[in-house]
Amino acid sequence: THSVAPMADNAVLRIFEEKRREGQVVRICAPMVRYSRLAFRKLVRAHGADVAYTPMFVAESFVESQRARDADFRTCPEDRPLVMQFAANNSVVFGAAAQLAKPYCDVVDLNCGCPQRWAMQEGYGSALIKSPDKIRDMVIQARNQAGMAVSVKVRLRENDARTIDLARQVEHSGAVWLTVHGRTPEQRGQPVNHSAIKLVKESIGIPVVANGDICSEEDVQLVRNLTGVDGVMAARGILANPAMYDQATAPATVPTEVVRHWLQLALEIGTPFPCFHHHLIYMLEPVLSRSDKREFNSLTSTVSVLDYLERRFGITCS
């Protein structure tokens, strides 16, 4: 038998409770490789996101290499509440990663949802949804070794019964919430299965977060009404519009002041040019013509991007 360490009061769980009392959902910025770095996390927090995730780190590299940790992870006191996500397939390594992460975040998340071939071949991500015992061992190890709250992100199994069984096993492991991407690992562009997410929500007692094709405030409300979930998680939608969670304005496309705010944060914090540029490519996609996109996407320096934005839109970062 495994003992499960009791969890101390947790900032993210307090947000789940506050939103539940208010009849609201928790609005979450997803873990995105290359994209959910510090500057972008600060941007979305300023425009309605309640919780932000880091990009996914491979736990083994994170534990073994100080260089890998320093290269890929930056934070600051305002970067909270923060969830650090790990790909892992070994409970001791995941526990060690959680211990290293503990001073810098509120929760560690175990990625059991990534469907990419490299992850599956390494036994990471979606490969784990067929091994609930392994998920349980990793969650328990991180809780006991690091005293950390642990959440889990999964995709759907091949049928509802197996998905519900997986969700119940995750709950019994001591995970503090479960994020469900509403597709199986094999599915890509197919519609999200909201009825399966609803069944998960009805089958377990811990908070459930819905993920998949949430791109606007309208989607947030639709998914909430269809599933009864406690939280929603956006990835591509929040890349295109970092203000999508701003309930006061609920903008359909990214406002000019949000683009300006991105310039300020990215330059102030120091963001690699490809990341800085790609965020703007996502944000400006709806408002640029095909020829404008060709020109903007071909820019190769921060100076040329700033010049383009001022010339084309009158946007400056001062």
What residues are labeled active site? 114
Tokens encoding 298: 């071909």
**Residues facing 308 on adjacent strands:** none
How far the first Cα of the chain sits from its last, in Å, is 59
Contact indicator for 55, 36 with CB cutoff of 8 Å: yes
Question: Within 13 Å and on the Cβ side, how many CA atoms surround 275?
Answer: 19
d(CA 196, CA 177): 17
At how many degrees (to 10) do helices 91-101 and 132-146 cross?
40
CA distances from 24 to 19, 44, 211, 259 (A): 5, 18, 16, 27
Show the beta-strand stretches assigned E in 72-198. Answer: 82-87, 107-112, 149-155, 178-181
Contact indicator for 7, 211 with CB cutoff of 8 Å: no
Q: Which amino acid is at 15?
A: I
